[in-house]
Amino acid sequence: MRFGFVTDELSQDPREAVEMALEWGVREFEIRHVHDKRFPRLPLNMLDRLVDLQDEYDIAYTAVSPGFFKTRIDDEPHIAYATGEGLHVAVDFMQACEIPLLICFGLESTPGTDKEAVARIGSFADQLADFELHAAVENETHCKFNTPERIASLLQQCDRPNLGANWDLANLKEGAEEGFPDGYETVKEYIRNVHAKDVVVTSEGRVEWRPIGEGVCDWRGQMRALLEDQIVERVTIESHCGPPEHVGQHNLTMLKRFVEEAGG
C-alpha cells in the first residue's frame, strides 16, 4: 500500500508541500488548492509551474479535485464552468501530467431530484470518457451522495464504467463510526480513491476533524480491509487539521503502522 497527500493539507505552496512529503518518503500527490485558489481556477503560469514541479522532483499527481458539483443543481454558472471551460483546463492539465482521476461531488441535497443528479453526473462522466479519464464522486453529508447506501445506489443508477466513488470515511461525520465495516462493504465495489482523516461529532453536534486514531473512524480495520480487498493502490491523506507538519506525519505514521499490523 502506498500513501499520498493532498498538497494543500501540507502547504498552500506546492513546492513546500512536496519537499515536506519527500522527507517522509511520499511521492504521490493530489492537487486541490494552490496559493488559496482552487484548481483549475489558477493562472496559466501557476499551472505550468505545477507541471514543471512534477518533472523536477520526479513525483506523481494521482488526482485533481476541482470541487465540481459541490453546489446546487440550479447553479447554472458553476455547472457551465464544470462542464465547459473548467473541464477543458482540467483535462489539459491532467493529460500533460498523466493524471487518470478527477474527484467531483454529487450536488447539494436540495433542490433537484436523484434522477436529475444521476443524469448530470453521468453526462459529466461521459465527457471525461472522451479523453479516457475517470471520475470519483466524493461523499459529503450535505450532498446527494451522502450515505453509503445512497452512494452505491446513485452510482449504480449512473452506470458508467469510468465513474466510481471517492471513499471518505470521516466525511460521513455522524455516520463515521458505523462507516466501517458496514458502509465500506456497501460501497466497496465502486471505490476508486480513498481519503484519510479522522473526526468526532461533539455532544453539541459540532464536527471536529482529528488526527487519525483520535476520532471515531476505525482506520485500523479499514486499512486491513483495503489490503485484503486490493481495490486501491494508495490512500491519500487529507488531514483537515494541524499543524500540518505534525499531523501530516502523524497520520502517515499511523496508517503505515496499521498496514504493518495487518501484514502488509
pLDDT tens across the length of the chain (264 residues): 999 999 999 999 999 999 999 999 999 999 999 999 999 999 999 999 999 999 999 999 999 999 999 999 999 999 999 999 999 999 999 999 999 999 999 999 999 999 999 999 999 999 999 999 999 999 999 999 999 999 999 999 999 999 999 999 999 999 999 999 999 999 999 999 999 999 999 989 999 999 999 999 999 999 999 999 999 999 999 999 999 999 999 999 999 999 999 987
Tell me how far apart the alpha carbons of residues 47 and 93 are, in angstroms, rounded to a whole number.
Answer: 7
Tell me how far apart the alpha carbons of residues 234 and 14 are, in angstroms, rounded to a whole number.
Answer: 20
The pLDDT, as a whole number, for residue 177 is 96
Tell me how far apart the alpha carbons of residues 163 and 145 are, in angstroms, rounded to a whole number.
Answer: 13
Helices and strands, number each (H, E), in the chain: 9, 12
Domain 2-261 falls in which CATH fold? TIM Barrel (3.20.20)
Write out the H or E segment, with its range, that includes residue 154: helix 148-158
**Contacts (Cβ under 8 Å, ≥6 apart) of 218:** 177, 180, 181
Write out the H or E segment, with its range, that includes residue 201: strand 198-201
| 165 SS3 class | strand
The pLDDT, as a whole number, for residue 264 is 78
The pLDDT, as a whole number, for residue 263 is 87
Distance (Å) of CA 62 to CA 23, 32, 55, 134, 135: 19, 11, 14, 11, 12
